[in-house]
Amino acid sequence: MTDVSSKINIQTGALLMKVLKTFIWKQGEVNVFHGLHQDLDPIAVVGLGRRKGNTVEEGIDENKEAARIASAVGCRALRTLRMANIEVEDFDGLAESAAVGSILEMYESGKHYSLGHVLSDSGIQPYDIISNREQWRIGLVKASSQNYVRQLMEMPAALRFYACGGYQSTVGQDSTVAIAQSSISRAIDEVTRAINDHLFNRWVRLDLHPASLATLRQGFDMENNFPGVIGAIDCTHVAIVAPPIDDPVYRERDYFNRKQFHSINVQLVCDAYMKILNVNSRYPGATHDSFIFANSNLRRALQEVYRRNNNGSMWLLGNSPDLDLNLKLLVLDNLAQHDTSVLANYATEAGYGH
């Protein structure tokens, strides 16, 4: 037992030791005990393994590593109980390692990107702040530094995957990335969440104000000599791992598309410069393109704009599978063979809302 656990054992009238003897403790194994004493909150006890003196193998101090693991595992267990404050012991003089483990766990679990957020959100502090203040402070700095380095590695790894697709292990073996597949997976998840939470709604948006619609129409007119178009629409299949056949919520057959693989059928709208304006990724691969549009918020929003303006001077451009009674998508094999004025008249007749 560590010095802190011995003190708690005395406080509980040896009840802690009695309970601990009923378990076989392995390194990193955790149990949370409640009601050991009326003055004590739930306590997470973690196995440290055998003490190994001051031996260092392959550049790793095994005792410090055991303290880092134990503090991380213990904090994770107490966090599931939604504890407002978590006190971490020093593992007999290893307060720095305890701080690194506990703070890095909170970075990892909460996707925090600053030390201030971690400390304010988690309430983590040392069990004995008086004697361990300096070591704890050093541990905080090291944990924060390691987290920044991890972020710097994750961004290029995720961008590499977005750019080339393929397998995560292949991306990790790239000389410019060089990290493990598990780290690639975590990087993709965290960067994607950050993009969705902080960037997506700012940059991917179809502004339906009259001035913005006029700018969109002008873009297609100038770039493609095609008046009146506010966007190009189509669906694309994004491949996924097939859900279990017996999954009651995500039914496997719903994701098996006409191209004979499992996917999400994603509807996209872009402007004349191929900037994405709208994304709808709600539907599995077996869903028809026309169904996706017919049940989309985009369709309802455009209907409202049409009613408000009461004209057919705007439309989306797409291919024939997307044809809908409420949206006529103009398809021309060779625009250059047609007179522009005739096209404008036809487009108005086939415009949105007719």
Residues 133, 24 within the same domain: yes
- 218 lies in the same domain as 118: no
| pLDDT higher than threshold 60 for residue 133 | yes
CATH number at residue 87: 3.40.220.10
Residues 15 and 147 in one domain: yes
190 inside domain: no
Q: State yes or no: pLDDT of 351 exceeds 50.
A: no
Q: Is residue 185 part of a domain?
A: no
Q: Which domain holds residue 78?
A: 3-153
Q: Are residues 240 and 136 in the same domain?
A: no
Are 147 and 13 in a shared domain?
Answer: yes
Burial of 268 (0-12, 13-18, 19+ CB in 10 A): middle
**Residue 177 falls within a domain, yes or no?**
no
- Whether 215 and 145 map to the same domain: the answer is no
Residue 80, in any domain of the structure? yes
Q: Is residue 213 located within the same domain as residue 124?
A: no
pLDDT at 272 over 90: yes
Q: Across residues 117-145, what is the average pLDDT? A: 74
Does 344 have pLDDT greater than 70?
Answer: no
Number of domains composing the chain: 2
Question: How many residues would you count in the chain?
Answer: 354
Q: Of 86-90, 167-171, 238-242, which one has max mean pLDDT?
A: 238-242
At residue 256, the pLDDT reads: 96
Which residues, 6 or more positions from 253, have their beta carbon under 8 angstroms from its beta carbon? 286
Domain assignment present for residue 341? The answer is no
Q: Could you read off the pLDDT of 186-214 as tens digits, one per residue?
A: 888 888 888 888 889 889 999 988 889 89
- Residue 178: inside a domain, yes or no? no
Weakest mean pLDDT among 145-149, 193-197, 289-293: 145-149
Continuous segment of H or E residues that includes residue 278: strand 276-284
DSSP 324: B
Higher pLDDT, 76 or 323: 76
Sequence-distant (6+) residues with CB within 8 A of 269 are 206, 231, 232, 233, 276, 277, 278, 298, 316
Question: The pTM is what?
Answer: 0.56
- For the chain, count helices (H), then strands (E): 13, 10
Q: Looking at per-residue confidence, does 260 or 308 come out higher?
A: 260
Contact 233, 269 (CB under 8 A): yes
Q: What pLDDT is stored for residue 339 in this prediction?
A: 41
pLDDT at 350: 32
Residue 167 placed within a domain: no
Residue 349 lies in a domain: no
* Domain edge (last residue) among 153, 181, 215: 153
**232 and 125 belong to one structural domain:** no
Q: Are residues 89 and 218 in the same domain?
A: no
CB atoms within 10 A of CB 88: 28
pLDDT at 141 over 60: yes
Based on the domain organization, do 239 and 119 belong to the same domain? no
**pLDDT value, residue 305:** 82
148 and 9 together in one domain: yes
Of 323, 302, 300, 301, residue with least CA distance to 314: 302
Q: State whether 242 and 319 are in the same domain.
A: yes
What pLDDT, on the 0 to 100 scale, is given for residue 333? 34
In the DSSP assignment, the letter for residue 127 is: S
The chain-wide mean pLDDT, for the chain, equals 78
